[in-house]
Amino acid sequence: LPLFKGYVGRGLCSGVAIGNVFSSPSVQQCADAAKAVDGGAGVLFLYGNYGGDVFNFDLAVDLLELDGIETRTVLGCDDVASQPKERARDRRGVAGIFFAYKAAGAAAERGDSLDEVAAVAQKVVDNTATMGVGLSPTILPTTGSPSFELPDGEMEIGIHGEPGIHRGPLGTADEIADRILDSVIPDLSLREGDRVAVLVNGLGATPLEELYLLYRRTHRRLTDLGVVIERRYVGEYATSLEM
């Protein structure tokens, strides 16, 4: 997905292993990407918590150890709809990994050690919570058929048709924002005086005007709570085919 290749650059990621659409990169692709960017300080693998990715990257770690390349792994697991708080490490990783890429990339750029960069990435992951809303299914390029069924006029709280927490009539922007915030705010235990960065992300098919409506409500809710929005990002920072 463009999400990953889009964060390769100075002060961000050094390289990326890309699989087919909605498919994990192969073990060899993971290992080759790491070898291509290793400068002797080791390599941090930073990706979303999906079974195929974890399996292939873990096998790549074994290959790289044979070549004397030290690695660390941090998994993005920000989707609060996928698992309860007590199982946060089992959650799926979605758009929240954007923050981890920026923070870990900045730490590496200033010369932090591999362990320090991994610690920064893990701290970001531990303090990130997201929720996705689907309005229509995606058509899988390999099969030409929808990945799941969602009738017109309905929405699903979740991602890619994987088990979510709600399906029902399409709500207003304020109603959708409230539903998301009612889960995200307690999950992060936000309270008066906290400072946050807010990402209102379009996965690719949502007009920017609608994202700004969602941010408007988010800003109001957090301000009323006494939470300071230190930075805000509104746009398409992590995209996915037809989502």
Catalytic residues: 160
Letter for the amino acid at 135?
L
Among 134, 142, 113, 144, which residue's Cα sits nearest to residue 39? 113
Burial state string for 70-102 with b = 16 or more CB within 10 A and e = fewer than 16: ebbbbbbbbbbbbeeeeebeebbbbbbbbbbbb
Q: Cβ(188)–Cβ(124) under 8 Å?
A: no
**DSSP-derived secondary structure letter, 45:** E
Q: Cβ(180)–Cβ(211) under 8 Å?
A: no
Beta-bridge mates of residue 95: none
Helix or strand holding residue 97 (H, E): helix 97-109
Read off φ and ψ for residue 179, nearest 5 degrees. Answer: -60, -40
Residue with tokens 């999906």: 50
